[in-house]
Amino acid sequence: MSEIALTIDRARVRHHGNLLVDVADVDVAPGRPLTIIGESGSGKSLLAHAAMGTVPADLEVTGALRLGARSFDLSDLRGRRSLWGRELALLPQEPAAALDPTMRVRSQVAEGVPGFRWRDRGAGARADAALGRLGLSGAGRAFPHQLSGGMAQRVAFAATTIGGARVLIVDEPTKGLDPVALDQLADLLLEHCADGGALLTITHDLRLARRLGGDVLVMREATIVERGAVADVLGAPTHDYTRRLVAAEPSRWQLPWMRASTPEPAGPPLVTATGLAKAYGDQPLFEDLSLTIRAGERWAVSGPSGVGKTTLGNVLVGLVRPDRGLVDHAPALRDGRIQKLYQDPASSFPPRVSLGTALADVLGRHHVPPERLRSLLAAVGLTEDLLERRPGQVSGGELQRLAIIRAMLPGPALVVADEATSRLDLVTQETTTDCLMTGLADRDCALLWVTHDRDLADAVADQLLDLGLRGAAPRPPAPRRRSSCPAGAG
Amino acid sequence: MVQRLPGDVAYRIAAGRYGYDLVDADAAAGVREELGLDRPAWQQLLGWLGDLGRLDLGRSLVTHQPVLSEVGYFLIGTLQLAAVALLLAVVIGCPLGTAAALRPGGVVDRLTDLWVALVRALPAFLLGLILIVVLSVHLRLLPSAGHGGSTTIVLPALTLALGLSGLIARVARDAVVETRQSDHVRFAHTKGLTDRLVLLRHVARNAAAVLVPYLGVQAVVLVEGVVVVEALFSWQGLGHALVHAVFWRDIPVLQATALVLALLVVAVNTLVDLTVLWLDPRPRRQEAMS
Amino acid sequence: MTTLSEPMRATARPARRSRASVLTRRVSTVLLGGLVLFAVVGPLLLADPAAQTLDRYLEAPSLAEPLGRDEYGRSVLSRLAHATRLSLVLATLCVATALVVGTAAGILAAWRGTWVDTILRSVSEVFVAMPALLVVLLVAATADGGVWALYVGIALAQWVEYFRVVRARAAVVLASPAVEAARLLDLGWRHVVRRHLWPDLRPLLTTLASLGMVTSILAMSTLGFVKVGLEPPRAELGLMVTESFPYYDVAPWLSLAPVTVLFLLTVCFLGLRRTETA
């Protein structure tokens, strides 16, 4: 297995003179997965698309690609089209969007068969076989909207690989997948490798990188900063950036506001919920659920996607009415003392006015002196000129910190964070979480964090509500893992 | 609605029968009594609804023909015209829009833009007049007005189609451009499909799912166009009948044509909904409510 | 997250397009200003549009009468000025009425929901099934070519569009996380209207209003053309086209003058639109 399946040689991608990718050489051997990790904007996705030949036309690409004995010029985008699906395949991001909503799943897989024609019986049979191997034998006649995220991912995998390509490029496959679906996908990818295929995976998810094994490349600001076997690089990183990246995993956090043990319930109750039930259509999300959130407590609601975490959060805040049961808010929560942080902070600000204008309304309504805003901005490391911009002109991490400041202005007693950091890079996630938790700890404010990430839930919360378990009941989380625990326990 | 006209309905109708010069209060009163226009409005409305239930739409006040058969005759004329116009518009608009979309910002795209602006700025009657002047008066290719023979339909249909085709081209262009940028079309390419297969299997259907509802909206515009174009070319259709009925206050015909036109719009919209359901099986999203 | 789509949006073409659209808007504004000036000042300075001089019928354009005289020997320029003024004033009134009524009803329906929404929506459905021209035609039929009938008819036909667009858009805005956050922050309805609804609806309404001007002007002239709108001898653009068409061979300026003004008016209002959508 020593021969090289795919080599990317001196790849450079420029946009109006800005260097977006500058990578000297990348080799992918059959049977040994190669994973590129790094934060968004590091150029890792562009590198994969440069190899595939799917970069937008206004980007300038140079370099070469070798497939076995053949060599291709990276700047020639059309030259590799004949390889697509047969020798070089790309598993797209967000399979739910990558499948044609108007076509049945079976046809979408069948058209990937080389030499496909209209109403091709043979291709249809092969598609059925491929779907059957992935445990989707009944799904051929379904439309994409009838599939779960994990099923759509497997359909996309079948459509990608049915052409028989040996080199498989996978672009950010973890978006929107819960841990179970992620495990299934990792198994499929490893199987492809075990059959002698070459695998190049782009991800920001360190857990997927560990799961796949093989080699890893760490990219930052267009270049590769570290490379080597996964266990070496993630176990004992040498580059500063890799070290920060690895330390930013929630399971390794060591931050001042973290509590070693769950405090005794002492404060007065803020939210008292009894016998809550809510259904989505005819599917029950939760039934007969009761809990009490007291002042200063830290709660996390966890579970796989589609289980009703967000709905529960909204029911507790009072934004959604439960089908049955009662939610009682203490008087301490009136007048804006209950605040919410959103997954996409940009959507939580009025999009067409400046951030300063939006915040000025909050200051005015709650009689907060402008100096308070200034000191809060300084405390989270934001400059005041940010306030002149609109939400769309600020990065996600900065905007979420601004949203945290906004939530702090009315002096809240309870903050609900709905997947508030799940769209952020690991490092940004750590700083943003630190920001929020420091603010909460300062004023003994209660927290309800809704997240699919168990490690994060364990790090921030004292009480965990796992909706993934039937008959969910609140319980304290497992003993907190500190960074001394072996990596990859998740 | 029309029943609530000022009291000169009877005058108008009488004028329609006897000519303006001969109408006096007596003639008007005669008409009023004959038609039951002196009854309270709600009685007239109930009476009309009852007649409608029996498919009895009464007789035209001007021609004295049964309204049902008259409107039926006009409906066929309108359907012929609308069908030919729609077909022409789709045949002109869709390929133009697709060609523009394949090279956004290219020559075809710019020309289509210009074409859409031009057509939007010209009211149907002006477009019709221009066509008459150019094709009929100057070039003497086609008859300018009338009903009957296969050539008489060309000018009115073309007038309607030109107006519509610009809009169709524009919407088709935007739909195709948007679809071509979607993730699933990119995925179809990387699966190894040729450009032609991607266009036929993925782009066409998804773009059509956008275009067809738009055509439904345009049905209303088409009906408006029909009224004007029929009046302009004296094409024997509902629009023609409607304008005459309004002018002569021929209430039964007026009610019936307005009703049939409204039903036509409803029928087209139903057809459109069914087509979209077939094109795009995704469940319709509930409208977001606060 | 991939950075793929971002460079794609930052291509050079949109910049060129937006520069072109700024130019279009500027030219439209200047042209429209000229037309408005003509409509305001013209009727004050020029001769009586109804004054007939039958012995000078179909007189060709000259220095004293730049657009010549019509079949009754009336000054075409003067008639044109009056017709333009009529079109602009009536269209503005119609659009303003439809905009205010439709927007208010749309926001009300989206905000209150429940039965208010149901009632307003069913009223609007009736108008949607009826082509606008039909509504105008029916109303115009009630009042013998009166200006009021035209005003009521056109406004009645147009409010639905504002209602539907505003209702749909306002429902999206009001259901957005941004408004939810504003509610949790207890910022009040004034904040929601000023910072969320109005900034979002303003560009939509500008576009709708300029399109509405075009539709109104065209509807008026179309009704005049099929002889159910305003009645002679009033100077109206559509009527002028109808009346002059029989003399197209001998006096083409008669037809061309109102057609040109009509075309310029619609092109200008189309050019004023913010977005490029048709």
Q: Count how many pairs of residues, chain A against chain C, have C-beta atoms within 8 Å.
A: 89
Set of chain B residues whose Cβ sits within 8 Å of the Cβ of A93: 183
For residue B165, the Cα-to-chain-centroid distance in whole angstroms is 13
What is the rounded CA–CA span in Å between residue C93 and residue C156?
Answer: 12
Question: Which helix (H) or strand (E) covers residue C49, if one does?
Answer: none
Q: Calculate ∠ Cα B203-B209-B213, nearest 5°.
A: 145
Contact C200 A423 (CB under 8 A): no
Sign of CA dihedral A311, A470, A304, B283: negative
φ, ψ (nearest 5 deg) of residue A234: -85, -20
How close does chain C come to A15, measured CA to CA in Å? 7
Contact A349 C4 (CB under 8 A): no
pLDDT at A338: 92
Sign of CA dihedral A41, B180, A165, A184: positive
Assigned domain for C245 exists? yes
What is the rounded CA–CA span in Å between residue B265 and residue B254?
Answer: 17
Which residue is listed with tokens 């209660």? Answer: A446
Contact B197 A116 (CB under 8 A): yes
Give the model's confidence band at B162: pLDDT under 50 very low, under 70 low, under 90 confident, else very high. confident
pLDDT higher than 80, residue C278: no
SS3 A61: strand
DSSP string over B114-169: HHHHHHHHS-HHHHHHHHIIIIIIIS--S--S-S-SSSTTHHHHHHHHHHHHHHHH
Give the model's confidence band at B36: pLDDT under 50 very low, under 70 low, under 90 confident, else very high. low
pLDDT in tens, C190-210: 999 999 999 989 888 888 888
Contact B287 C168 (CB under 8 A): yes
- The DSSP call for residue B59 is B
Contact A338 C8 (CB under 8 A): no
pLDDT higher than 70, residue B251: yes
Partner A contacted by C14 (CB < 8 A): no
pLDDT at B164: 85
Contact B228 C241 (CB under 8 A): no
SS3 A23: strand
Chains in contact with C, counting 3 or more C-beta pairs less than 8 Å apart as contact: A, B
pLDDT in tens, chain A (490 residues): 447 788 998 999 998 888 899 988 899 999 899 999 988 778 888 899 999 988 888 889 999 999 888 899 988 888 888 888 888 999 988 887 889 988 999 999 998 888 887 777 888 889 999 898 888 888 888 888 888 778 888 899 999 999 888 999 998 888 767 777 888 889 999 999 999 899 999 998 888 999 999 999 999 888 999 999 999 999 999 999 999 999 988 888 888 888 877 777 778 889 999 989 988 777 788 888 888 999 888 999 988 777 788 889 999 998 889 999 999 999 988 888 999 999 888 889 998 899 999 999 999 999 999 999 998 898 888 888 889 988 888 888 889 989 999 999 998 999 999 988 888 888 888 988 998 998 888 888 999 999 888 888 888 988 888 887 544 445 544 444 333 333 333 3
Partner A contacted by C4 (CB < 8 A): yes
Q: A62 has which bridge partners?
A: A12
Partner A contacted by C190 (CB < 8 A): no
What is the rounded CA–CA span in Å between residue B278 and residue A459?
Answer: 49
Contact C182 A352 (CB under 8 A): no
How close does chain B come to A46, measured CA to CA in Å? 15
Which residue among A58, A336, A353 sits closest to C7, beta carbon to beta carbon? Answer: A58
Which residue is listed with tokens 């460079």? Answer: C7
Contact B206 A145 (CB under 8 A): no
What percent of chain B is modeled with pLDDT above 70? 71
- The DSSP call for residue A337 is -
Q: What is the ipTM of this complex?
A: 0.76
- Residue (of A50, A315, A410) closest to A202 by Cα position: A50
In the 3-class helix/strand/coil scheme, how is A432-471 assigned residue by residue?
HHHHHHHHHHHHCCEEEEECCCHHHHHHHCCEEEECCCCC
Contact B120 C132 (CB under 8 A): no
- Residue (of A281, A104, A90) closest to A171 by Cα position: A90
CATH number of the domain bearing residue C223: 1.10.3720.10
Partner A contacted by C184 (CB < 8 A): yes
pLDDT at B52: 62
- Exposure b/e, A82-118, CB count within 10 A at least 16 = b: ebbbbbbbbbbbbbbbbbbbbbbbbbbbbbbbeebee
pLDDT in tens, B51-62: 666 666 666 666
- Contacts of residue C148, defined as CB under 8 A and 6 or more positions apart, other chains included, come to none
- The DSSP call for residue A392 is G
Contact A98 B191 (CB under 8 A): no
The two structure tokens encoding residue A62: 């140079």
- Residue (of C234, C242, C247, C241) closest to C259 by Cα position: C241
- Residue (of A190, A219, A182) closest to A204 by Cα position: A219
Partner B contacted by C141 (CB < 8 A): yes
What is the rounded CA–CA span in Å between residue B15 and residue A417?
Answer: 76
pLDDT at B160: 87
Partner A contacted by B179 (CB < 8 A): no
Contact A145 B282 (CB under 8 A): yes
- The DSSP call for residue B150 is S
Contact C186 A338 (CB under 8 A): no
Question: Which helix (H) or strand (E) covers residue A278, if one does?
Answer: strand A269-280
Domains of chain A: 6-247 (3.40.50.300), 269-466 (3.40.50.300)
Structural domains counted in chain C:
1
Q: How far apart are the first and last CA of chain C?
A: 34
- Residue (of A388, A452, A442, A385) closest to A417 by Cα position: A452
- Residue (of C65, C36, C74) closest to C243 by Cα position: C74
What is the rounded CA–CA span in Å between residue A206 and residue B58?
Answer: 80
Give the model's confidence band at C45: pLDDT under 50 very low, under 70 low, under 90 confident, else very high. confident
R_g (Cα) of chain B, nearest Å: 24
- By the 8 A CB rule, do A87 and A167 touch? yes
The two structure tokens encoding residue A312: 């529960």
How close does chain A come to B203, measured CA to CA in Å? 9
Strands A215-220 and A198-203: unpaired
The two structure tokens encoding residue B244: 């005459």
Length of chain C, please? Answer: 278
Which residue among C177, C180, C185 sits closest to A336, beta carbon to beta carbon? Answer: C185
pLDDT in tens, B6-28: 445 555 555 555 555 555 556 66
Partner A contacted by C65 (CB < 8 A): no
Q: What is the pTM of this model?
A: 0.74
pLDDT at C269: 83
Contact C266 B121 (CB under 8 A): yes
Instruction: State which residues form the domain around C114.
Output: 23-272
Interface of B with C in 224-283 (CB under 8 A): 224, 227-228, 231-232, 242-243, 246-247, 249, 254, 258, 261-262, 265-266
- The DSSP call for residue B138 is I
Contact B120 C241 (CB under 8 A): no
Assigned domain for C194 exists? yes
The two structure tokens encoding residue B287: 């409208």
How close does chain C come to A124, measured CA to CA in Å? 33
φ, ψ (nearest 5 deg) of residue A341: -110, 140
Q: Calculate ∠ Cα A25-A28-A34, nearest 5°.
A: 100
Which residue among B190, B209, B280 sits closest to A84, beta carbon to beta carbon? Answer: B190
Partner A contacted by C172 (CB < 8 A): no
pLDDT at A484: 32
Contact A101 B184 (CB under 8 A): yes
Partner A contacted by C177 (CB < 8 A): yes
What is the rounded CA–CA span in Å between residue C189 and residue C184?
Answer: 12
Length of chain A, please? Answer: 490
Which residue among B190, B197, B280 sits closest to A101, beta carbon to beta carbon? Answer: B280
Sign of CA dihedral B189, B195, B201, B202: positive
pLDDT higher than 80, residue B221: no
What would the mean pLDDT of C168-190 be, rounded to a whole number?
Answer: 90
Interface of B with A in 186-245 (CB under 8 A): 186-193, 197, 201-202, 205-206, 209
Assigned domain for C3 exists? no
Question: Which helix (H) or strand (E) covers residue A235, if one does?
Answer: helix A230-235
- By the 8 A CB rule, do C163 and C124 touch? yes
pLDDT in tens, B113-157: 888 878 777 778 888 888 888 887 777 776 666 555 667 788 888
How close does chain C come to A394, measured CA to CA in Å? 14
- By the 8 A CB rule, do A126 and B264 touch? no
Set of chain C residues whose Cβ sits within 8 Å of the Cβ of B171: 278
Q: Name residue C200's amino acid.
A: D
Set of chain C residues whose Cβ sits within 8 Å of the Cβ of B224: 131-134
Q: Half-sphere exposure of residue A446, counting CA atoms within 13 Å on the CB side?
A: 26
Strands A215-220 and A298-302: unpaired
For B240, nearest residue in chain C (alpha carbons): C226
- Residue (of A423, A427, A424, A421) closest to A248 by Cα position: A427
What is the rounded CA–CA span in Å between residue A28 and residue A36?
Answer: 11
Question: Which helix (H) or strand (E) covers residue A329, if one does?
Answer: strand A324-329
Give the model's confidence band at C178: pLDDT under 50 very low, under 70 low, under 90 confident, else very high. very high
Helices C114-129 and C76-112 pack at an angle, to 10 degrees, of 150
- By the 8 A CB rule, do A11 and A45 touch? no
- Residue (of C175, C172, C146) closest to C234 by Cα position: C146
What percent of chain B is modeled with pLDDT above 90? 1
Contact B187 A159 (CB under 8 A): yes
Q: Name residue A463's amino acid.
A: Q
Contact C238 B167 (CB under 8 A): no
Which residue among B190, B197, B202 sits closest to A52, beta carbon to beta carbon? Answer: B190
- Contacts of residue A304, defined as CB under 8 A and 6 or more positions apart, other chains included, come to A178, A179, A180, A452, A468
Q: Count how many pairs of residues, chain B against chain C, have C-beta atoms within 8 Å.
A: 130
Contact A102 B201 (CB under 8 A): no
**Residue predicted with more confidence, B68 or A64:** A64
Bond preceding residue A250 cis, omega within 30 of 0: no
Chains in contact with A, counting 3 or more C-beta pairs less than 8 Å apart as contact: B, C
Which residue is listed with tokens 């007189």? Answer: C59
Contact B279 A102 (CB under 8 A): yes
Which residue among B182, B185, B201 sits closest to A111, beta carbon to beta carbon? Answer: B201
What is the rounded CA–CA span in Å between residue A294 and residue A186?
Answer: 40
For residue A43, the Cα-to-chain-centroid distance in whole angstroms is 17
